[in-house]
Amino acid sequence: MEHKELTEKIIGCAYKVYNQMEFGFLESVYEKCLLMELSKA
């Protein structure tokens, strides 16, 4: 997998987490959600 593809997947997962969670949570909550989303991808 090239760097560009990997970067696109990471950014896509980050957007997905933010769109589902929106704002107002601690950073640790977003971090855990992002880790779960990355493991699915």
Residues with Cβ within 8 Å of 8's Cβ and at least 6 positions away in sequence, in order, are: none
Q: If DSSP codes are grouped into helix, strand and coil, which group holds residue 41?
A: coil
Residue 1 has pLDDT above 80, yes or no: no
Structure tokens at 41: 């991808």
The average pLDDT across 18-39 equals: 92
Give me the number of domains the chain comprises.
Answer: 1
Across the chain, the runs of DSSP E, i.e. the strands, are none
Residues of the domain holding 25: 3-40
pLDDT of 40 above 90: yes
Q: Is the pLDDT of residue 11 over 90?
A: yes
Q: How high is the pLDDT of residue 10?
A: 93
pTM for this prediction: 0.77
